[in-house]
A and B are shown apart, each in its own frame.
Chain A
């Protein structure tokens, strides 16, 4: 698959502060790319630059093989976006907002407007002024606006922010459907990691303005940090027994009477049985299933990843 987004050395510095630094980002056609990072990490700034809202102070952006510059923005006709939160001309009706957007892009298709509203279940609200819409409706209308001209890339910044569980599911389903049925490529950011986990094919972690890691969900699944943690006053003896009695090599003494077993070839009950048989006092034993959250946490805090 070819890259439809490619940035090299993408940077944005404001008043001497580097908001984004040297980001090398590649997004492949047809994928859902998730951008993860803490608030203020630089995700929105990266997305704003890709959507043409602000210009980089250094580096280059290439969309669909065309360089994006302040004077050459033609590639943006193939991009839909919602950055931060969907903004509209609130005094205007939903249809009028969509019509205006379409005309700015030189796209005149009343049927497409009706279809987009139907897609996001706002067909009956089309004539109402946007100021009467709830946040969830605005998010859906934002999606309708983003898809109306049938873009090849949609950039969604925290699309589930402020939505209720039903709205979150709606948004997720919509992204999936547009990706799978229409082949639209997505760049989605979120701090709700489980949300990203459910839609993204690949994830990039942004920390302090830098893209620190890029991985596919498959790769992340392989590196999940599942472990069994044992709390015992005889942690060193327990470690010795685990190694010699059960052949477990991958474990770590954490101090404070805690021990982590990363080699999960033996079950929790096998481990407890063996330790009890050897008179090791167990204060607690618990299996911890690593999530994307753990992985993400390790990435942004610089903690050691344990595999």
Chain B
């Protein structure tokens, strides 16, 4: 499976992916400071609050997942290169499992790395501009690391929500991206709509949807995946 994932990775326009990822990271590096200094100083009242802000920001990597679904799945159908894969002595389910795992791995690793970079940059910027209202503690760092790992995993799973319907079945890039934008933002915007969502339950529900979508994409690939 690792070998199949490696081969999937080699097919991709890797520079585009790295470039897109670099843009996400570059934007995020300064967002915590921007929010704490320019939007509302409450964001910087303590490490728990700024960590919450960084976690919310990182839901945006669902969009990175949608972009990967586009390259790894939709483009292969559109360019008909998927027929090459089907000509190999490898069952379609294994091929699509490799694709789904690659997307998961890239989103997870990308989100986690971003958590690290944004965490470090926030600390360094705080050194210079002082927008966090408490001293850094080991507990705050441990809490940040735990949330980074947990939420990176959650984002990787949630990213699969568009996979079945818009990746394998409809093969439609724009709806896949729009769904991802919605998923990335609706938790943050729900208070504006008067909705009170439990963040843990909401994230768990989205993870379940992501898992179901990935499962459906792989198990129904014989039916929906013709080139």
Residues of chain A at the chain B interface (Cβ within 8 Å): 48, 51-55, 70-71, 73-77, 79, 81, 83-84, 87-92, 96, 100-101, 103-105
- Residue interface mask B68-106, A partner, CB < 8 A = 1: 000000000001110111111111100000000000000
Is A70 a contact of B91 with CB atoms below 8 Å? yes
- Which of B6-14, B21-29, B108-116, B206-214 faces chain A? B6-14
Complex CA distance for A96 and B14, rounded to whole angstroms: 14
CB distance from A183 to the nearest CB of B (A): 21
Is A76 a contact partner of B7 (Cβ separation < 8 A)? no
Is there a chain A Cβ closer than 8 Å to B42's Cβ?
no
Task: Specify which chain B residues have a CB less than 8 angstroms from the CB of A96 in the assembled complex.
Answer: 10
Roughly how many angstroms separate A52 CA and B222 CA in the complex, as a whole number?
A: 11
Contacts of A87 in B (CB 8 A): 79-81, 83-84
Task: Name the CB-closest residue of A to B221.
Answer: A70
Contact B7 A100 (CB under 8 A): yes
How close is B80's CB to chain A, nearest CB, in angstroms? 5
Q: How far does the alpha carbon of A76 sit from the alpha carbon of B91 in the complex, in Å? A: 11
Cβ of A147 to closest chain B Cβ, rounded Å: 14
Interface of A is mostly: loop
Q: Is the pair B87, A51 in contact by a Cβ cutoff of 8 Å?
A: yes
28 inter-chain pairs at a CB distance below 8 angstroms, sorted by A residue, are: A51-B87, A52-B86, A52-B88, A54-B86, A54-B226, A54-B227, A55-B222, A73-B88, A73-B90, A73-B91, A75-B89, A77-B88, A77-B89, A81-B87, A83-B83, A83-B87, A87-B79, A87-B80, A87-B81, A88-B81, A89-B11, A90-B79, A92-B11, A101-B84, A104-B84, A104-B85, A104-B88, A105-B89
CA distance A87 to B84 in the complex (A): 8
Chain B: residues with CB nearer than 8 A to chain A?
A: 3, 7, 10-11, 13, 79-81, 83-92, 222, 226-227
Residue contact B89 to A53, C-beta cutoff 8 Å: no
Residue of A at shortest CB range from B92? A70
Q: What's the Cα separation between A172 and B11 when bound, in Å?
A: 31
Q: Does the CB pair A105–B88 fall under 8 Å?
A: yes
**Whole-angstrom distance between the Cβ of B73 and the nearest chain A Cβ:** 14
Please tell me if the beta carbons of B87 and A76 are within 8 angstroms of each other in the complex.
Answer: yes
CA–CA, A91 and B10, complex, Å: 11
Q: Which residues of B contact A100 (CB under 8 A)?
A: 7, 10-11
Q: Which residues on the A side are within 8 Å of B84 (C-beta)?
A: 87, 101, 104
Q: In the bound complex, how far is the Cα of B11 from the Cα of A101, in angstroms?
A: 10
Q: Is the CB of A76 within 8 A of B89?
A: yes
CB-CB nearest in chain B for A79: B87
CB distance from B219 to the nearest CB of A (A): 12
Given the complex of chains A and B, what is the CA–CA distance between A54 and B81 in angstroms? 14
Chain A residues whose CB sits within 8 angstroms of the CB of B81 once the complex forms: 87-89
Report B145 CB to chain A, min CB distance, Å: 37
CB distance from B72 to the nearest CB of A (A): 12
Chain A residue at minimal CB-CB distance from B226: A54
Closest to A85 in B: B80
Q: Which of B7, B13, B83, B91 interacts with A53 by CB under 8 Å?
A: B83
Minimum CB–CB distance for A213 against chain B, Å? 28
Min C-beta distance of A148 to chain B, whole Å: 13
Give A56 Cβ to nearest chain B Cβ, in Å.
Answer: 12
Set of chain B residues within 8 Å of A53, measured between Cβ atoms? 83, 86-87, 226-227
A contact residues around B86 at 8 Å (CB): 51-54
Chain B hits for A91, CB < 8 A: 13
7 more contacts with CB within 8 A, not counting A52-B88, A76-B89, are: A53-B87, A53-B226, A71-B91, A74-B89, A87-B81, A91-B13, A100-B10
CB distance from B1 to the nearest CB of A (A): 14
Chain A residues, CB < 8 A from B88: 52, 73, 76-77, 104-105
State how many angstroms separate the Cβ of B83 from the closest Cβ of chain A.
5
Rounded to whole angstroms, the CA-CA distance of A96 and B13 in the bound complex is: 13
Residues of B within 8 A of A77 (CB): 88-89
Q: How far is the CB of A159 from chain B (nearest CB, A)?
A: 16
- Nearest-neighbor residue (CB-CB) of A91 within chain B: B13
A74 CB contacts on chain B under 8 angstroms? 89
Shortest C-beta distance, B26 to chain A (Å), equals 24
Q: Taking the nearest CB of chain B, how far is it from the CB of A75, in angstroms? A: 7
Q: In the assembly, what is the distance between CA of A90 and CA of B11, in Å? A: 10
Q: Complex: how many Å from CA A90 to CA B84?
A: 13
Contacting residues, chain A, for B91 (C-beta < 8 A): 70-71, 73
A88 to B82, CA, bound (A): 10
A92 to B13, CA, bound (A): 9
Q: Which chain B residues lie closer than 8 Å to A76 at the CB level?
A: 87-89
Interface pairs A-B: 8 shortest CB-CB = A76-B89, A73-B89, A77-B89, A53-B86, A104-B88, A74-B89, A87-B80, A53-B83
Residues of chain A with a CB closer than 8 A to B10's CB: 96, 100
